[in-house]
Structure formats: C-alpha cells, structure tokens
Amino acid sequence: MPLINQLLQSAQLAPPLSQSEAEALAVDMGSITDLFIYPRSIAARSGALFFLGRRDAAKYLGIVHTGAALAGEFTGQAGEVTLGGEVMSLTLCPTDHTNALALRAALPFTAPITLGLRKSAGCGDRLGLATPGHVRAVRKGSMAPIFAQQSIREMIRTQRSPEQVLDAASWGVFQEGWREGFGADADHLKTLEDVDRCVAAGFVFYTVDPGDHVDNAADTDDPITLGRKVEALPWNDLESSPGDLYRTYLDQQFDVGDFAVSFSEEELLRAAAKYGRSVAHTVRMYRHLATQMGDRPFELEMSVDETETPTTIAEHYFVASELKRLNVDWVSLAPRYIGRFEKGVDYIGDLAAFEAEFVRHAAVARALGPYKLSLHSGSDKFSIYPIFARVAGELVHLKTAGTSYLEALRAVAGTQPGLFREILAFAFERYDEDRASYHVSADPAKVPTPDQLSDQQLASVLDDFNGREMLHVTFGSVLTTQDVDGRYRFRDRLLAALQADEEAHYTALEAHFDRHIRPFG
C-alpha cells in the first residue's frame, strides 16, 4: 500500500486525502483490522497513521506506526499488521477520556480554539452523538462552529461531566475530519466552582450567566425605591460610587452611529438598579477565570437572556460601558430581546418591532466593541435569522441546544417507532413538572397521544409547536429516569438506537441544521 507508506513519512500533519483516496484506504484498512473505518477520520502525522473505526456498537481509535513505541499517552491494545509487505505496529485504543486527551495533543485540530469575532454557531449536544451531523451541516456554510456546548444545568440533568462534553466533540470532529477549528462553550456558568470545573476540562469559551443578580423589579419600581437600590449596590466591587455614576452618564450624549444614547435620571437609576449587581458578578467571574486560565487563550460571553424583562437600548449601553470601564474583555453579549424566545420553536412576537429594536442593539455592539450579539434559545428561530444576518453581519453568535435532541428523536421515530411511542407517552407524564425551569407555553392537550398516531405519523409530533416543546423540556427526565431495578428506562435504548443507525441520525441533524445555518451565508 504505497499510500500508507507515503503518509507514514509525514513529519507534520499531512493534508487531507481526497474522498476517493480516503474511501479506498478505509476499505483496505478495514479488511486488515476487522473494523468499519470512517474515511474522513484518516490523518497522518509524525510517522503515525490515525483513524477511527467501528466494530458493532463500539468505536476505536486506530494508530498504525512503524516504531516500536508509539509517541504520546495513548492506551490500548498493541499488535502487528503487514502492510505493503512490511510489518507495522497497530494500536487499537478505546475512545475514552485518556485517549481523547492524547488525541488532542497529537492532532491539534481535535482540540478547541478561540474563534474571535468570526460569525459563529453553537451546536449543543445533550447525547454526545451529534457532532458528526453538526459538522456535515457546518461544512456547507460560513459560520465558525462551537461543537462542545452545554450548560452546567444541562450537564446535571443529563448526568454528564464537562470532560465528557468536550471529549464527545473531539471524537466527532475526528470522525468527520473537520480541520477548520471549533470552539468549546462552557455555557450559563453561575458560580466560581462552575468555572473551575470547565477550566480543568479544557473549555475555551465561557458564558457567564449573572441572571440571578438581575433585578427585574427595577423595571417598575418608583424613583425612591430605585434610588435606595442604587445606593445599596456593591460599589467597592464596581470600583465606583453613586456620584461617579451620575458624572459618567447623566446629561451626556453617547454617539453610537445613527443615533445617540442618553439617560434621564430615572433611566439611569433603573439601568443601574437592574443590572449593577449582574455587572459586579460578571467582573468577579471574569477575573477569576483569567487567573485560572493563566496564559491560555479564552473568550467570554455575558448573558442576561434568561430574565423576565427585555433589555432596553440604554440598559444594553450601560452594561457594555460598565464592563469596558472595568477592563472586562468579552467577545459576545446576549441581551434579553423583546418578544418570546421559547425552547425549540420559532420566535413569538412582532418581527418589525424586533428588527427596529435589534438595529439599535447592533449599533451599540459596534460602538462599544465590536462584539457579537448572541442569540440564545436560538434553536428553530427561523423567522428572525434573516434579520440577524442582515443587521448584524459578522457580529452574530447563534446558540442552539435542545433542537439536536429533538432531531435525534425524529431519527428514532423512523427507525424504532415503539421506543419513540414510549418516550412520547412519558413526556405527557413529566411535562407539568419539567416545564418549571423553562419559558414555554405548550398545551399537552393539543398533542396527539401515541395511540392516535400511525408509525408514519409519529415524526409529525416534532413539527407541532406543542409536541415539540413538550418533548424538548422533558429531555432530562427521559435521560435519567431509572426503573426499580436501577436500569435507565430510556437512556441506554435511545443511545443504542441512534448508534445502530447513526446515518439516519446524522441525516436528520444535517437537514435541520442546514435550515439554521443557510440564512447566515
């Protein structure tokens, strides 16, 4: 096999093989190793040939090398193969955490990087199986991807660790041969302990969520109450004072391009009372993060999207201005936009009003940054993607999460309808309790029950507003509920179904994410 010999001469990372070369080599290697080899995974560097293979439901990292010892910290079963008349070493390694660390060191394209101000899309993966489908969709567009993305809340609900989230993305990137770089978002972090866990795992993008410190009542408080709240702000942490606040913002005109931002006394008090503590918390989180990361590059996002009241233009300006004054370096910000951003369904609200307001948010982001405007709960918001793309241009970060889980269910509805029926019936039972921590408005009474649907109709539940939300918010219960014997009721069967017909899963994801990415170019 002269191609293998040629690849094994590569000291640096060899260029990707052509599709025909990769497919032919995958077949040859598969006959020798008794594995199905993923053609795009084949990569060569430093005298070793790396590939990902599958046997039954298990995947293995394969490494062919000519030396007696394999460089790196890989662990696996060593053997020998004869290729082109030459005896070579073959090490088959489990796709575990130890080997994921070694893979990221040996093939740096499998490790996350910072993305800067590149237009980007976050692809949350609650099952740890979606990255190959995400890669296939991202390849067709112009958005830089974040393939490892999960909030601490979701990690708890899915019983996953930050290491597992990042490892799953690395193995998926390796499988599909994605070499264009990807980010890793430790999403919706609320505590210093959350930060520490994700730093240890190797994340490079950190979304600070100070929503618990936003005072939503300030939207309607009277001036006297607002004054008392502002006096009580943590001024030492803000490195400021009420007097400084007035001198900085009152009776000023802040030019942001096509218009100017100004504050009346009441508007200033309202902005400070509402967001002052959240700014202080973000600063604490950022400085702690910077200390923990040391010389390693990282990026920060501030998110106040999961709060009750919209962020006005003046409030957006105040938050960004204060972060800048306090020397926080951030790459994106997620205000609470007008309208309703419910999980897994399209935007609910006046599109013209949204666009008019968003134009002004974008002007603030350009003037005080530039930084990207982040669209959280961004899954399936098809009606506003063209607005985002047209107004913000490159300054966009789209964040999706639960929609990938729903498309996994779509695949299962087609391949194992009986399992999907069980999950749908269980969602009816769990919805009232599980919806408590989400902004959703689905009415289960409007969702067909499993016995009302033929096998061919099952997937239609995922195209229905009420059915989609109901299945969305019950994911944690589906993945973690155990029967009396301690076995997971659905989790293992769901994962096994997706692994048994992974192409159906990837196809559903690719088609769905095409719709998310295409409007952005």
Query: Which pLDDT tens digit goes with each residue over 158-189?
Result: 999 999 999 999 999 999 999 999 999 999 99
List helix spans (H) across 161-264: 162-176, 192-201, 223-231, 235-238, 242-249
Measure the CA–CA gap between 213 and 302, rounded to whole angstroms. 13
pLDDT for the residue numbered 481: 97
Whole-number Å distance between alpha carbons of 79 and 96: 19
At residue 64 the predicted structure's pLDDT band, cuts being 50, 70 and 90, is very high
Q: What is the pLDDT of residues 400-453, one digit of tens each?
A: 999 999 999 999 999 999 999 999 999 999 999 999 988 899 999 999 999 999
Q: How far apart (Å, rounded) are the C-alpha atoms in residues 278 and 303? A: 10
Catalytic residues: 187, 301
pLDDT, tens digit, 9 for 90 and up, residues 470-509: 999 999 999 999 999 999 999 999 999 999 999 999 999 9
pLDDT tens digit string along 257-267?
989 999 999 99
Helices (H) and strands (E) counted in the chain, each on its own, are: 20, 16
| CA 186 – CA 152 distance, rounded (Å) | 8
Say what the pLDDT of residue 69 is: 58
> Which pLDDT value is given to residue 423?
98
Q: Residue 433's Cα: distance from chain center in Å?
A: 25
pTM higher than the cut 0.85: yes
